[in-house]
Amino acid sequence: MKNILITGATSGLGLCLAKYMDQLNYNLITVGKDKKKVTNLKKILSTKNKKNCYQFNLNNEKKFKKFCQKLSKKKSDVIVHCMGGGFGKHETLIKKKDLEELFNVNVGIAVEINREVVGKKNYNKNLKIIHVSSVAGIEATASVGYSMVKAALITYSKTLSKRLIKKNIYVHCILPGAFEYENNAFERLKLKNKKVYKKFIREKLPLQKIPSAENFLGLFKLLISDEGNILSGSSITADYSESNSFRI
C-alpha cells in the first residue's frame, strides 16, 4: 500500500484529499499548522493514519526540520503539495517581504520537501510528486503576488520533471479553477460577501455553479497511479472551462 504525504491537509483541497485517500486505505503522512484543525483531522482519519498526522508550521525553520525528522522514518510513494494561499496580500505594489512570504508558503516549502525526500533517496520506486498551483498562474486573474508565485510553481514543476523523469520520478502540476470546500477561499467569500460570490459565478463560470473539491479526486487518483505517468511535466488545468487557457 502506498505511502502518501499531503501538506496543507487540514483545510480545502488538502483536507478533502486526506479524507479520500484515508478511505481508500492508503498510508498517510499529513501535516497542517493549526492545532485545532489537526486535532479535527485526527478525529476523521482511520486509526493507522492518526499517528502520522502532524501539527507543524512549516514556514518556521525549526519546525520544518522537526517535520523532516518525522518524514525520514517512512519512504514516500506520493507527495502532494496542497499547502498554499494568498493570505490576504492583495496589494498591487506588493512589498518584497510579503512576496517572499507568499513564495515560501506556495513554492519554497515544496522545494525543500522535494529536496529532502529525493535528495536523501527517501522514496520508493516510481515516486509521484504533485504540486497544486492555480489557473491564476497562467492567466494572472488573482492578486499580483498570488499569481506570481503560482506561475513560479508551474515553471518549477515543468523543469523539475525534465530532470527527474530519468530516475522514474514523475512530477505533475494541477491548476484548479475556483472551487469550494471547508474553510477555503471561496467558502469564506460566500460567507463574507455573498453578492461578490454570486457575481463571480455568474460572470466567470460557464457552468454557472462553483465546483467542490470532490470534483478533483478522480484526477488525483489517476496521477498517483502508473497510468498517470505519461502526464509528467504537464500543467493540468482543471476548471470546468473557467479559464481561457489552451493547456490540458
What CATH number does the domain containing 7 carry?
3.40.50.720
Instruction: Tell me which of 185 and 32 has the higher pLDDT.
Output: 32
Specify if 151 maps to a domain.
yes
Q: Would you state the pLDDT for residue 202?
A: 94
The per-residue pLDDT of the chain, averaged, comes to 94
Q: Does the pLDDT of residue 18 top 70, yes or no? A: yes
Distance CA 53, CA 56 (A): 10
Average pLDDT over residues 199-225: 95
Q: Give the chain's radius of gyration (CA, Å).
A: 17
Q: In what order do the strands lie in the sheet with 123-132?
A: 53-55, 27-32, 3-7, 76-81, 123-132, 170-176, 235-238
Average pLDDT over residues 99-114: 97
Q: Would you state the pLDDT for residue 155?
A: 97
Instruction: Tell me which of 248 and 211 has the higher pLDDT.
Output: 211
Q: Would you state the pLDDT for residue 247?
A: 59
Query: How many domains, in total, are found in the chain?
Result: 1
Structural domain containing residue 152: 3-181+212-238
Specify if 84 maps to a domain.
yes
Least confident of 4-8, 82-86, 111-115, 145-149: 82-86
Give the 3-state secondary structure of 152-208.
HHHHHHHHHHHHHHHHCCEEEEEEECCCECCCCHHHHHHHHCHHHHHHHHHHHCCCC
Average pLDDT over residues 160-170: 97
Cell of 29: 503522512
Specify if 196 maps to a domain.
no
C-alpha atoms less than 13 angstroms from C-alpha of 68 in its C-beta half-sphere: 20
Cα dihedral 12, 18, 21, 24 sign: negative
Distance CA 17, CA 20 (A): 5
Specify if 190 maps to a domain.
no
Specify if 246 maps to a domain.
no
Assessment of whether the complete model's pTM goes beyond 0.85: yes
Specify if 203 maps to a domain.
no
